[in-house]
Amino acid sequence: MNGEPVIEVKGLQKSFGELQVLKGIDTVIHKGDVVFVIGPSGSGKSTFLRCLNLLETPTGGQILFEGTDITDPSNDINLHRRKMGMVFQQFNLFPHLSIMKNLTIAPIKLLGKSKEEAEKTAYTLLERVGLANRANAYPNQLSGGQKQRIAIVRALCMSPDVMLFDEPTSALDPEMVGEVLNVMRDLANDGMTMVVVTHEMAFAKEIATRVMFMDGGYILEENTPAELFGNPQNERLKSFLSKVI
C-alpha cells in the first residue's frame, strides 16, 4: 500500500519568537497517501503544513522532499515548490488576472510552456472541475466555491507531485463546501498525494488513507481513519472527537 516516500519530516520544530508551535514532528508521507491533519485550533497543524513547503521557515529539524533536504538553504526552494501545490483557506487567486491567466502564469513563466500548451492543460482541468465556461472571468466574479476550485486547478496546472490543503473549506458558505470536496475526492481517487488540514471530519473518514491528530505542537496519534475515529487511544483525541462529532 505504501509507495516511495515523498515527504519525510524529521524532528521538525517551529518557534515564533518565544512561542514554540511545533515541538518535534516526525512523519513520512508516501506517494499516493491522503493524509488528513486534524486537531484543535492553535495545535500547530496549519504551521506544520506551511512548513512543508517552507512558507514558514522551520527553526529545527529536517524536511526531505523527494530525498532532498529542502531546509538546507543551499537547495533552491523555488524549484521544489513547483512540485508542491498549495491551496489556501482564503483562495488567494490573483484578482488582477483573468481565470485563464491565473492558471497559466506559473506554467508559462516557470516551466517555460507555450501559451497554447498551458491554456490547453488549464482548459482540460477547468472542464474537470466544471468551470470551463468561466475561463475569461475575473476572480471577483466568482463564488467562494468556484474560487477554491480554481485555486485547486491553479496548483494542478504545475503538475505537482503533492498537494497541500490548508483548511480549504473553512472560508466557504456551507452549501459550497460540497463542490470543493468533490474536486478533492476526485483528486484522491486519481492517486494524488495529498496533505489536508481540515475540520471536515466526515470527509476525513471517507477519503483519508491516514489521519494525524495534532495538539500542543506534537502528533499525538496517527492511524487509519477507521482506527483513529473508531478506536481512539489518546485521551486528548478522545475528548476532541467527543466535542466535534
- Least gap, CB of 109 to other proteins (angstroms): 7
Is the CB of 180 or the CB of 211 nearer to other proteins?
180
Q: How far is the CB of 96 from other proteins (least distance, A)?
A: 5
Alpha-carbon separation of residue 24 from 10, 35, 50, 57, 190 (angstroms): 8, 18, 15, 14, 32
Q: 129 to 148, contacts with other proteins by CB under 8 A? A: 138, 140-141
Among residues 10, 23, 31, 82, the one that binds other proteins under rule CB under 8 A: 82
Asked if residue 187 binds other proteins (CB under 8 A), the reply is no
Q: Binder to other proteins among 37, 63, 158, 162 (CB under 8 A)?
A: 158
* Residue 63 lies near other proteins (rule: CB under 8 A): no
Secondary structure (DSSP) of 53-97: TTSS--SEEEEEETTEETTSTTS-HHHHHTTEEEE-TT----TTS
Tell me: does residue 95 bind other proteins (CB under 8 A): yes
Q: Single out the segment in contact with other proteins by CB under 8 A; choices: 12-20, 150-158, 176-184, 215-223.
A: 150-158
Which of 96, 133, 235, 245 contacts other proteins by CB under 8 A?
96
Position 226 contacts other proteins (CB under 8 A): no
Q: How many residues does the chain have?
A: 245
Strands 34-38 and 218-223: unpaired
DSSP assignment of 130-154: T-GGGTTS-GGGS-HHHHHHHHHHH
Size of the site for other proteins (CB under 8 A): 28
Near other proteins by CB under 8 A, which window of 17-25, 75-83, 202-210, 227-235?
75-83
Q: What is 188-216 written as a DSSP string?
A: HHTT-EEEEE-S-HHHHHHH-SEEEEEET
CA atoms within 13 A on the CB side of 224: 5
SS3 percent helix, strand, coil of the chain, rounded to 5, is: 40, 25, 35
**Contact between 68 and other proteins per CB under 8 A:** no
Is residue 55 a contact residue for other proteins (CB under 8 A)?
yes
Could you tell me which residues are beta bridge partners of residue 16?
A: 19
Residues in touch with other proteins (CB under 8 A): 53, 55, 78-79, 81-82, 84-86, 88, 90, 92-96, 98, 105-106, 109-110, 138, 140-141, 151, 154-155, 158
